[in-house]
Amino acid sequence: MTVDAIYARLYEQGVRCVCLCPGARNAAFVKKLPKTMESINFFEERSAGFFALGRIQQTKKPVAVIITSGTAVGELLPAVMEAYYAMLPLIVVSADRPKRFRGSGSPQVAEQEGIFGFFAETYEADWVLDNRPIHINVFLEDPIPRPPLLEVTERAGHYPLCLLGALDANEYARLRAVLPRDVPLLAESLSGFWDTSLQEIRLLDRLREAAYPVDCIYRFGGLPTSRLWRDLESFDIPVISWTKLPFPGLARPSVRYDLSCETFLELLDKRNRLDLSFFDRDAELKNSLHALLERFPASEPALMKRAAEALVTKEGSVFLGNSLPIRIFDLVCSHVQAKRFYASRGLSGIDGQLSTFLGTLDGSSCIGFFGDLTALYDLAAPWVMSQVKAPFVICIMNNHGGRIFDRLFHGDARFQNEHNFDFSGWAEMFGMRYVKIDGAAAIIAEQAQVYELVPDYTQTQAFWEAYDRF
């Protein structure tokens, strides 16, 4: 069924109120919401589900909760359970990636059909509404148009590009020992290869201009965070993964080996060499990026860089929250070293991130970087502090809403979840030392347990506009 047809069917069955949790995957539902329905917006699905139960009881009409994919669906299980036993007509409408992605382990892909088990039947179409919860799972194509990608003109295997995702200590040591330093690679912070990664900016174009037309991708470790990995879904280029994960991470055909298999060494021996001058030019590009950060010191990327440089130690660990923090850290903090990096990259949701971070504490200096909506998802996390006595610092980048969608949807306010909250009261409630850092203000280590970083919106926009012109 189309989005329009689903809305029409919901209206026919008495739905006049929808609880809408905007995201990239359910963008079509956000944009096509009919004027005949009241919309209550939420950034967090669990609250939306329970609010819907109250509205059902008050109006005696069914209410739909419309959500994006991934862990967002799981957040509604408690409300669905309550609706089942209370006999309330709660309708969960979940956006899903296309069917071809099932079982692939691709970013934010979960097996959503039947997720509520005993408590709600899942439908794709022709559902029957009674006094029980139901689940409508809708398969939608990517809502964000992709630019045309390079065509493969050479026989695959001579011009490889390596993508490095999360690696554990043993995997890191094995790869560090055998991976040639002149192989072009794009490495995220979770890999530990902070000192050898190229800049992602126009990387494929720059390599082609250097007479190195990438004709195969070798991926090591966990799912890469980079945009390039997702773009490979529509890129006609061979992909080979060496990973302990049991799925390929792409819906399109690819090859997967266990990371203990060192077949990649034979393949790398057959490669054409990249002119070493490319690495010098890439370093110049990195210097240009740093100059851009100095030009816009109150921007979100500049603030992230200053916080990391001031607070992260080589002997400590870093937890990178999902959404913007992990992406910005990889962009501007590749030079920052730590003993270990953590993240939740299974389904890459923003729920439970602070609690997961506190679970990683090992007695050393531990720093966690999170977005404001991520923190709002998990406000109860510090409850455990009295039982886990270990030092930590929480850095919250408060850009007053879901700014990751600012660039994706060109400032469309329907996706922003804007707010004017700060986290001083939350820190005080749990007895955590708190400091608010506005824009270009100095960041002093060991001053607080909670640093609230507030970037300047205008400078952030200017930074990204200049970055996109690189």
Q: What is the CATH number of the domain that holds 179?
A: 3.40.50.1220
At residue 146, the pLDDT reads 56
Average the pLDDT over 257-268 and give the result: 83
Residue holding tokens 């005696």?
60
Q: What span, in angstroms and rounded, lies between the C-alpha atoms of 421 and 317?
A: 28
The mean pLDDT of 249-274, rounded to a whole number, is 87
Residue 149 maps to a domain: no
Q: Are 290 and 201 in contact (CB under 8 A)?
A: no
**If DSSP codes are grouped into helix, strand and coil, which group holds residue 467?**
helix
Euclidean distance between CA atoms 143 and 430, whole angstroms: 40
- The phi, psi pair for 55, rounded to 5°, reads -65, -35
Q: What is the dihedral of CA 311, 312, 315, 319, to 10 degrees?
A: 120
Confidence of residue 153 (pLDDT cuts 50, 70, 90): very low
User: Is residue 182 in a domain?
Assistant: yes
Ramachandran sector of residue 446 (left: φ over 0; alpha: ψ -120 to 50; beta: rest):
left
pLDDT of residue 126: 84
Give the per-residue pLDDT at 56.
98
Q: Any idea what DSSP says for residue 258?
A: -
Evaluate the CA torsion angle 404, 410, 415, 421 in order and state its sign.
positive
Q: Which of 243, 276, 309 is the last residue of a domain?
A: 276
Q: pLDDT tens-digit profile of 285-328?
A: 999 999 999 999 999 999 999 999 999 999 999 999 999 999 99
For the chain, give the percent of residues with pLDDT over 90: 77
Contact 263, 282 (CB under 8 A): no
Instruction: Name the pLDDT band for 143 (thresholds 50, 70, 90).
Output: low
Q: Under a CB-based contact definition with an 8 Å cutoff, are residues 244 and 220 in contact?
A: no
Tell me, yes or no, whether 313 and 460 share the same domain.
yes
Prediction pTM value: 0.93
Task: Give the model's pLDDT for residue 441.
Answer: 86
- What pLDDT is stored for residue 152 in this prediction? 44
Look at residue 117 and tell me whether its pLDDT is greater than 90. yes
For residue 32, give the CATH number of its domain: 3.40.50.970
* DSSP per-residue codes, 195-239: TTPPP-TTHHHHHHHTT----EEEEESS---SHHHHHGGG--S-E
Confidence of residue 145 (pLDDT cuts 50, 70, 90): low
Q: Which helix (DSSP H) or strand (DSSP E) does residue 67 occupy?
A: strand 63-67
Say what the pLDDT of residue 154 is. Answer: 41
Beta bridge partners of 381: none
> Is the same domain home to 234 and 322?
no
More confident residue, 132 or 410: 132
- When the pLDDT of each residue in the chain is averaged and rounded to a whole number, the result is 92
**Local confidence band at 149 (pLDDT 50, 70, 90 cut-offs):** very low
Q: Which residues contact 91 (CB under 8 A, 6 or more apart)?
A: 10, 15, 62, 63, 64, 65, 129, 133, 134, 136
Co-location of 302 and 423 in the same domain: yes
Q: In this predicted structure, what is the pLDDT of residue 156?
A: 56
Q: ∠ at Cα 50 (46, 55), nearest 5°?
A: 140
- Whether 462 is covered by a domain: the verdict is yes
- Structure confidence by residue, pLDDT tens digits, 23-33: 999 999 999 99
Same structural domain, 216 and 267: yes
Provide the domain count of the chain: 3
Which of 109, 139, 169 is where one domain is finished? 139
> Would residue 282 count as lying in a domain?
no
Question: Which has the higher per-residue pLDDT, 50 or 103?
Answer: 50
Q: Last residue of some domain: 139, 171, 196?
A: 139
- Say if 289 falls within a structural domain: no
Residue-level pLDDT at 264: 86
59-63, 226-230, 262-266: least confidently modelled range:
262-266
For residue 134, give the 3-state DSSP assignment: strand
- What does the pLDDT look like over 31-61, one tens digit per residue? 999 999 999 999 999 999 999 999 999 999 9
Note the pLDDT of residue 459: 97
- Of 84 and 247, more confident: 84
Specify whether the CB–CB gap between 75 and 52 falls below 8 A: no
195 and 252 in a single domain? The answer is yes
Q: What is the pLDDT of residue 409?
A: 85
Q: What is the pLDDT of residues 336-352, one digit of tens each?
A: 999 999 999 999 999 99
Task: Output Rg (C-alpha) for the chain, integer angstroms.
Answer: 23
Selection from 39, 46, 42 nearest residue 17 by Cα: 39
For 204-224, how does the pLDDT look when each residue is reduced to its tens digit (9 = 90+)? 999 999 999 999 999 999 999
Residue 155 lies in a domain: no
Percent of the chain residues topping a pLDDT of 70: 97
Exposed / middle / buried, residue 310 (Cβ in 10 Å: 0-12, 13-18, 19+): middle
pLDDT at position 144: 63
Structural domain harbouring 367: 296-467
Q: Tokens 């010191």, residue? A: 297
Does 454 reside within a domain? yes
Instruction: For residue 71, give the amino acid letter.
Output: T
Whether residue 313 sits in one domain with residue 251: no
Q: What does the pLDDT read at residue 107?
A: 83
Taking 50 as the threshold, does the pLDDT of residue 83 lie above it? yes
